[in-house]
Amino acid sequence: MKKYIVTLDAGTGSGRCLIFDLEGNQISQAQEEWIPKEIPEYPGSQEFDTKEAWTILCRTIKTAMAKADIKPEEVLAITASSMREGMVVYDKEGNEIWACTNLDARAVEEAVELIKSGDAEKIFKLGGDWVNIIDPPRFLWIKKHQPEVFEKIGHMNMLSDWVLYKLSGKIITDPSIGSSSGMFDLARRTWADETIRLVGLSKDIFPPVYESGTIIGEVTDQAGRDTGLLPGTPVVTGGADTQLALVGVSAVENNRYVVVGGTQWQTAVVTDKPLIDPKFRVRTLCHSMPGFWMTEGIGFYHGFSTRWFRDAFCQLEKEMARQMGVDPYYVLEKLASQASPGSNGIIAIFSDVMNAKRWKHAAPSFLQFDILSPQTSGKKECYRALEENAAYVSYGNYQILLELTNSPAEEIVFCGGSSKGFLWPQIMADVYGVKIKVPVVKEATSLGSAMIAGVAMGVYKNLEEAVERLVRFERVYEPDMGNHKIYQDYYKKWREIYPRILQLVDEGLLKPMWRAPGT
């Protein structure tokens, strides 16, 4: 009988199920987009609807299994990954009573209080992340604004942990996703007593910590009815999306650089010790591999910005793609490839380079249209400019990581949904001036999840063997150094222009694309 590993991912923009065979081949996939919900009375809130999300994830499991005609008894194990920072709070009976996504930004006053008191710096030095989208201010917000919820808190965990809970009934966490709460002691890879006391909670509500790749239970009867999986199927800890993506592209050694391109982009480096930025710009979390950590800069809403452009302005291209039987993004990249590097002068102002202490973004905009030349100043230039904006942000975050590691990249792995095209990877190579490697399996997070589950189930002796057997690269994009020189000039201009546009947000004249609490 063939055996397969099922992986679930609760992402910022979608829920999905990917299924792999034991040789690392992606056999089936199902995905449904979702958009976080803002609660009108709480500006900046992003609620995670656990009921809706579980329904979607169950549907993706059934769809993915049906597509490949996979029988429940052929599933060797199931695991889960998710966006970081988002958390779920339960009552003492295990019922979900409060949940938010990674970008929930309602706890403004609480973040400011932590900054003014100096506690924000203490949390950062211990846990590696600033207070803008981590859980200490969120707990303080619940305590102040929803005390009836705060009093009922019996348990908490993170979003991938919640998926495992729905499957197995076990409330646990792992270091990769748990550390994204901002309530971890990075060096010890477990909960930080000092931070827990700071928010007025008992340590008892925080779950036990198991490393990624631990069998923590089995699919329950109820989960079997919900998903179509066989009750008793082993459930294995997965973890945080980016860290699992690093595993999925073989970034399991010191000073390996990876860009994970999805709704958000993560430009990350793997290190063998926690690397805390003394200037509070980028963030550090536990890696999915024991004994390793990762430091990253975030590129904000890159996937959402291209989705917005696709849906707002590209109905013709979407119809063309439907007729051709291809992804609309392929058609848009074919169009954008006709524009020259630098998008004929059009500049996209969307995400900014990460600065955790002042994490805000200008109002989304395009600058410098030539209205006398619509043929060189239109849709194709705008779409290319969006991709260039993402590459500039990634490159800027890389410069910070380079400052911290003093170890330049000889090559960079580019994975995730954004690496599926042919234009974006080449733009990345040209902006960076180094070769970009794209893996065969673009959904590296899910492959990393499957590899870790495979080790847990004894399919692979260890993670090193899994990497050796399963990670393969599809293409290497060599930089065009002429284009690199052009992009260096544009990048410098973009870095000068961006803060001037952001100033309009600071003056209250424009609304930011997103701003973190405390900024």
When computed from its CA atoms, the radius of gyration of the chain, rounded to whole angstroms, is 22
User: Strand order of the sheet with strand 435-439?
Assistant: 283-286, 293-299, 265-271, 257-261, 411-415, 435-439, 473-477
DSSP 228: -
Confidence bin at 28 (pLDDT 50/70/90):
very high
On the question of pLDDT at 518 being above 80, the answer is no
Q: What is the pLDDT of residue 147?
A: 97
Q: What is d(CA 288, CA 238) in angstroms, rounded to the nearest whole number?
A: 8
- Mean pLDDT of the chain, nearest integer: 95
d(CA 448, CA 81): 9
pLDDT value at position 479?
A: 98
Whether residue 314 lies inside any domain: the answer is no
> How does DSSP classify residue 515?
B
pLDDT for res 36: 82
Span 30-47, average pLDDT: 91
Does some domain include residue 396?
no
Residue 432: CB atoms within 10 Å: 23
CATH number of the domain encompassing residue 50: 3.30.420.40
Q: How many CA atoms lie within 13 A of 311 on its CB side?
A: 6
pLDDT digits (tens, 9 = 90+) for 40-85: 999 999 999 999 999 999 999 999 999 999 999 999 999 999 999 9
Are the C-beta atoms of residues 302 and 385 closer than 8 Å to each other? no
- In a domain, residue 98? The reply is yes
Instruction: Please name the residues in contact with 452: beta carbons below 8 A apart, sequence gap of 6 or more.
Output: 79, 212, 213, 236, 237, 238, 239, 244, 247, 288, 463, 466
pLDDT in tens, 398-424: 999 999 999 999 999 999 889 999 999
Host H or E run for residue 269: strand 265-271
Confidence of residue 508 (pLDDT cuts 50, 70, 90): very high
Query: 201 pLDDT exceeds 80?
Result: yes
Band (pLDDT 50/70/90 cuts) for residue 214 is very high
At 13 the pLDDT is: 84
How many angstroms separate the CA atoms of 48 and 158, rounded? Answer: 11
Would you say residue 184 has pLDDT above 90?
yes
Given this model, what pLDDT does residue 358 score? 86
Which residues form the domain of 210? 4-249
Cα gap 286→371, rounded to integer Å: 49
Summarize pLDDT for 235-245 with one digit per residue, the tens: 999 999 999 99
Question: What is the CB-side half-sphere exposure of residue 297 using CA atoms within 13 A?
Answer: 29
61 found inside a domain:
yes
The Cα 291–Cα 265 span in angstroms is 24
pLDDT of res. 359: 86
| Close Cβ partners of 227 (under 8 Å, ≥ 6 residues apart) | 58, 61, 62, 167, 219
Residue 24: pLDDT band (50, 70, 90) is very high
103 is a domain residue? yes
Bridge partners, 515 (sequence order): 360
Residues 44/60, Cβ–Cβ less than 8 Å? no
pLDDT for 210: 98
pLDDT on residue 230: 98
Mean pLDDT value of segment 442-463: 94
Other beta carbons within 10 angstroms of residue 503's beta carbon come to 12
Q: Is 306 helix (H, G, I), strand (E, B) or coil?
A: helix
Confidence band (pLDDT; 50, 70, 90) for 442?
A: confident
Three-state DSSP at 320 gives helix
Report the alpha-carbon distance of residue 276 to residue 260 in Å, rounded: 20
Residue 423 phi, psi (nearest 5): -85, -45
Are the C-beta atoms of residues 5 and 76 closer than 8 Å to each other?
A: yes
Percent of the chain with pLDDT strictly greater than 90: 93
User: Which token pair is 487?
Assistant: 């992009």
Q: State pLDDT tens for residues 295-334.
A: 999 999 999 999 999 999 999 999 999 999 999 999 999 9
What secondary structure letter does DSSP report for 363? P
DSSP label at 280?
S
What pLDDT sits at residue 262? 87
What does the pLDDT read at residue 486?
A: 98
Looking at residue 433, its pLDDT comes to 98
Number of domains in the chain: 1
Q: Tell me the C-alpha distance between 366 and 385, whole Å.
A: 8
Average of pLDDT values for 236-259?
94
Q: Quickly list DSSP for 75-127.
A: EEEEEEEE-SS-EEEE-TTS-EEEEE-TT----HHHHHHHHHHTHHHHHHHHH
* Tokens coding 377: 């100043």
Q: What share of the chain is helix, strand, coil (3-state, %, to 5)?
A: 45, 20, 35
- The number of beta carbons lying within 10 Å of the beta carbon of residue 489 is 10
| Confidence at residue 133, expressed as pLDDT on a 0 to 100 scale | 86
- Does a structural domain hold residue 90? yes
pLDDT digits (tens, 9 = 90+) for 276-298: 999 999 999 999 999 999 999 99
Q: Which amino acid is at 206?
A: F
What single-letter amino acid sits at 447?
L
Rounded-to-integer distance, Cα 10 and Cα 441, Å: 18
pLDDT digits (tens, 9 = 90+) for 346-389: 999 999 999 988 889 999 999 999 999 999 999 999 999 999 99
Q: Is residue 268 part of a domain?
A: no
Confidence (pLDDT) at 515: 87
Which among 180, 213, 183 is positioned nearest to 294, based on CA atoms? 180
Residues 132-160 have pLDDT tens digits of: 889 999 999 999 999 999 999 999 999 99
Would you call 457 exposed, middle or buried from its count of C-beta atoms within 10 A (0-12, 13-18, 19+)? middle
pLDDT of residue 519: 77
| In-domain check, residue 190 | yes
The pLDDT assigned to 408 comes to 96
